């Protein structure tokens, strides 16, 4: 069903019956990446009819200029994700590799120290 803005009355019964369109199971309505929203108000005064001469007074007031702009962007794109993943894996694997080497070196030093003290004590 496609309705123009002037025919909004045709949309209201459907939304009252089925609820918010973003929750419909048969509707694939992705949210927009960018969305602009503007607040506009106006009023009309009939003081011009009270004036005798043919003059017009227009008073334009802007109480607040409100512009709300929503833009969705991914926090991290694919390239940055792969780059960060590679860097983290490299750092973590590097730390693990060096830790293993340090433990191996410590074990060798302890064994050498143990054998040297046993050898010296036996002589």
Tokens coding 98: 């060096």
pTM: 0.27
Count of domains observed in the chain:
1
What residue has token string 């019956």?
17
Say how far apart CA 59 and CA 35 lie, in whole Å.
Answer: 31
Q: What angle do CA 47, 49, 54 make, to 5 degrees?
A: 110
The pLDDT, as a whole number, for residue 109 is 94
Structural domain of 44: 5-122
Say how far apart CA 63 and CA 41 lie, in whole Å.
Answer: 10
Closest listed residue to residue 67, CA positions, set 33, 42, 39, 41: 39
Q: What 3-state class would DSSP assign to 18?
A: helix
Stronger pLDDT, 71 or 42, i.e. the higher one: 71
Which residues of 1-123 form beta strands (DSSP E)?
A: 34-38, 67-71
Evaluate if residue 83 carries a pLDDT over 70.
yes
Evaluate if residue 66 carries a pLDDT over 90.
no
């Amino acid at each position: 069903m496609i309705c123009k803005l002037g025919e909004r009355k045709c949309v209201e019964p459907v939304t009252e019956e089925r609820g918010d369109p973003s929750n419909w199971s048969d509707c694939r309505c992705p949210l927009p990446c960018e969305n602009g929203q503007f607040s506009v108000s106006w009023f009309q005064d009939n003081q011009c009819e009270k004036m005798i001469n043919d003059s017009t007074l227009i008073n334009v007031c802007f109480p607040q200029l409100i512009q709300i702009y929503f833009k969705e962007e991914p926090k991290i794109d694919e390239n940055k994700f792969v780059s960060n993943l590679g860097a983290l894996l490299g750092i973590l694997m590097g730390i693990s590799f060096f830790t293993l080497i340090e433990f191996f070196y410590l074990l060798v030093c302890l064994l050498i120290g143990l054998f040297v003290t046993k050898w010296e004590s036996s002589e």
